[in-house]
Structure 1
Amino acid sequence: MERARNGLRVNRTAAGGPGAIDWSVAAATGRKLVRGGPPVPRARAEQTVRALHEVNGTAELHVRELTGLGHGLPLRDAEVVDRQGWIQAATEGLSALTDDAVPRRVDNRLSALFAGSAGVQTGMLLAFLGSRVLGQYDPFGPSAAEGRLLLVAPNVLSVQQALDVPAADFRMWVCLHECTHRLQFTAVPWLRDYFAEQVGKLLTGFGDADDSRLGRLPELLKQARQSRQTRAGADPIGIAELLTSPEQRAVLDRLIALSTLLEGHADHVMDAVGPQVVPSVAAIRRKFTERRRGGGVLDRALRVLLGVDAKVRQYAQGSAYTKHIVDAVGMSGFNLVWESPESLPTRAEITDPDAWLRRVRP
């Protein structure tokens, strides 16, 4: 594995073949295209960065107390970054996660062209997300043992101003969510490897996929539209699901269920900590939910195309699942989900939490 000029890893096989995505191109494209942050005085920007560093540890202590996770683990600081810094970190984490799973190409000029083109497309996606992401815990960053928690200062400030909510409350609220993600991976020792294993299985399956499925994509999309009309209230079928084999679909279902659980659990915690920690939590949640549904026509179209709207539904489904279980058996009962991969809810159980309770707590 070689290093690009900017320090990013570039996929290489033992024979020198490039990976499917040139991550140095993705990082450079994303940093170039991402919009600048909100225009604020330097003093305000520096104060926001300092405050995010300060609140991070306090937020994690609140999460530990509520969830019962992570007692005895060291408290680690977050990395407070700008939009370009988040894109750089995201490409590093994605490269680490996919290096061994994404199919390699023969080392020639054409394969390098494909990898560069994929890098440009990935960079465009990261530029879109880079102006929206508030924070992220990356378990696959440079230090795999510790991971890295990123807080995107200009986005936190921009959204707080747009919502017109107290700055200190909003910073704490965001940190509660991201610290929950950090504890999910640091307090549950098997979770990181399990997640990476499932992603590897999914990507390897795509590499081995029959090209005939791509040729049938128009027919498959028509079937998906008909399915949406007959499955009222069901999740829409994504293109990834249309192109998967039955074996891959089982892996994808596990990943969707896990992602929904992780996001919903974090959303539940950030509200459940309560007004004693975030006095304006009810107003923040109401305004933030309205903002998630808003946006212009182009913005909404891009969100659908990139799967952002599906992510929003994951928050709601996962939060409802978590609340139902906690109300029924308490947080200690809910924490049975972290016992082993077999204790995780299935995709069907996410929308039928009583089924999970019957299986795990007969």
Structure 2
Amino acid sequence: MWVRLMSDGSRLTVGRAVDWSFAGTVGAWLTRPGPASTDYTRIQAIDELAVAARKAEGPVREVTRMGGDAPVAEARIVDRPGWIRAASDSMRVMTGGADTPANAITGRVTGAQTGAVLAFISSGILGQYDPFAEGDDGGLLLLVYPNVIAVERQLRVSPSDFRLWVCLHEVTHRVQFTANPWLAQHMSQALGVLTSDGADDVTQVVARLADFVKKRRAGGMQGPSDSGILGFMRAVQSEPQQAALDQLLVLGTLLEGHADHVMDAVGPAVVPSVQTIRNRFDQRRQRKQPPLQRLLRALLGVDAKLSQYTRGKKFVDHVVERVGMDRFNAVWTSADTLPLPHEIEDPQRWIDRVL
């Protein structure tokens, strides 16, 4: 949901068959209700999240050494249907979708499918920064207050501390993009390749798919990007598309790991119970899911996303510990200084190459 224009100014066409308005409506209808809360609790959470988003900006800029004196934009605090509508609108703009698809029946069918997926995701997402949405800083920070309330109750942690801790992560994403505007263009170019029509004929695709199945049976998968849904995606992609997928995976791993590092680096002076929150949150991430949940998570790439947090944080933690944050920030110089896929697992190789 981060990209809407390609490097040549043209819009993606993959979303023109989707009735995005219907997707938002269906998703809002299907989403589960948030946790039971009094009006007082809801209003308090909304107000406190808005304050926490502003309060997080200073510590994030201090830890990351980025952001300077740029103005602080307000976050938008939403419920689950509000997030679904914002997400469907963002996807419509990103994919070049029309307000009314050419084929009304197809648009409704694909819209219903998309809405169902958004409904599933909506109950788990705590926040999101979209650098291409219409916001004061060229982007928009969304915080989903019912999910924040639900998780802080599950973890049995201080609501004020947890809300600020969540905001530290999402505000870090805002700082990443506002301090380094080229990141969005880099993502645009990679997504443009990834969603373009492949030039390979069917026999080449089938051959790659057969090779994927053969390697999987032989136990030859190397990592998270070689197995599961990501491995299947790579099996049917052309070489340029595989390279673009690698770029997006590495960038996502870096962005999420960097944000997780910042969440913890602010320390107890800002979030007194930061260590307790981190320990309980990690335990929650690792808990077993029912079979249907596991299937949906695999199909939607949720588990791959969680792997990004863990692997990315290890990379950032290692580099910052070795060279400090100022020298780590060389990673944001250009696409050439981003870590390569093998460097995420071996940070010293990135240090040797870039620094």
TM-score by length of 2: 0.89
Listed as ranges, the gaps of 5+ residues in structure 2 are 1-9
- Correspondence 1:84 to 2:81: yes
Q: How does 1:339-350 map to 2 (within 5 A)?
A: 339-350=333-344
Structure 1 residues 356 and 144, CA gap change in structure 2 (3 angstroms): farther
Aligned ranges 1:26-65 → 2 under 5 Å: 26-65=23-62
Partner of 2:116: 124
Does the CA-based 8 Å contact 2:14-2:195 persist in structure 1?
no
User: C-alpha displacement at 1:154, in angstroms?
Assistant: 0.2
User: Would you say the 8 A contact 1:33–1:127 is kept in 2?
Assistant: yes
Secondary structure at the aligned position of 1:204 is classed as coil
- SS of 2:142's equivalent? strand
1:263 and 2:239 are equivalent in the alignment = no
Contact 2:193 2:240 in 1 (8 A): no
Instruction: Rate the CA distance shift 1:92–1:300 in 2: closer, same or farther, 3 A.
Output: same
Alignment of 1:98-117 (within 5 A): 98-99=95-96, 109=103, 112-117=104-109
Report the CA distance shift for 1:224/1:152 in structure 2 as closer, same or farther (over 3 A). Answer: farther
1:313 lines up with 2:307 in the alignment: yes
- Deviation at residue 48 of structure 1 after TM alignment: 0.4
Is residue 250 of structure 1 aligned with residue 250 of structure 2? no
Task: Report the alpha carbon displacement of residue 270 of structure 1 after superposing the two structures with TM.
Answer: 0.3
1:90–1:303 distance in 2 versus 1, CA, 3 Å: same
Distance, in Å, in 2 between the alignment partners of 1:59 and 1:344 is 26
Post-superposition CA distance 1:249-295 (Å, at most 9, x none): 11111111001000110011101111111111111111111111223
Distance 2:66 2:226 in 1: 34
Find the aligned partners of 2:327 and 2:135 in 1 and give their Cα distance: 32
SS in 1 for 2:324: helix
Q: Tell me how far 1:340 sits from its aligned partner.
A: 1.1
Instruction: Pick one of 149, 154, 164 that aligns with 1:162.
Output: 154
- Pair 1:230-2:227 in alignment: no
CA contact (8 A) 1:93 1:142 kept: no
Hey, what's the Cα distance between the residues in 2 that align with 1:248 and 1:178? 29
> What is the aligned counterpart of 1:333 among 312, 327, 332?
327
For the residues of structure 2 that align with 1:133 and 1:139, how far apart are their CA atoms?
17
- Give the superposition deviation at 1:211: 4.8
| Contact 1:29/1:120, CA 8 A, preserved across alignment | yes
User: Which amino acid in structure 2 is aligned with residue 223 of structure 1?
Assistant: K
1:62 partner amino acid: P
| Helix, strand or coil at the partner of 1:335 | helix
Give yes or no for contact 2:73–2:137 (8 Å, CA) kept in 1.
Answer: no
**Partner SS state of residue 72, structure 1:** coil
Q: 2: CA distance between counterparts of 1:73 and 1:224?
A: 50
SS at match of 2:129: strand
* C-alpha distance in 2 between matches for 1:98 and 1:213: 27
What amino acid sits opposite 1:244 in the alignment?
Q
| Contact 1:59/1:172 (8 A) holds in 2 | yes
* Aligned equivalent of 1:203, options 168, 186, 195: 195
Corresponding residue number in structure 1 for 2:4: none
Contact 1:92 1:141 in 2 (8 A): no
* Structure 1 residue matching 2:195: 3-state secondary structure: helix
The CA deviation at 1:128 is: 0.5
Please say if 1:150 is aligned against 2:142: yes
Whether the 8 Å CA contact 2:77–2:143 is kept in 1: the answer is yes
User: In structure 2, what residue type is equivalent to 1:183?
Assistant: V
Aligned with residue 301 of structure 1, among 276, 280, 295: 295
Matched with 1:7 is none
* CA spacing shift, 1:291–1:66, aligned 2, 3 Å: same
CA distance in 1, matches of 2:254, 2:15: 35
- For residues 156 and 211 of structure 1, do their structure 2 counterparts lie closer, same or farther at Cα, with a shift above 3 Å needed? farther
Identical amino acids, percent of aligned pairs: 43
Q: Displacement of 1:197 after TM fit?
A: 1.9
Amino acid in the other structure paired with 2:161: D
The letter of the residue matching 1:264 is: G
Does 2:129 correspond to 1:137?
A: yes
SS at match of 1:149: strand
Structure 1: which amino acid aligns with 2:210? E
Write the distance in 1 (CA, Å) between the matches of 2:215 and 2:106.
Answer: 29
Distance 1:68 1:143 in 2: 23
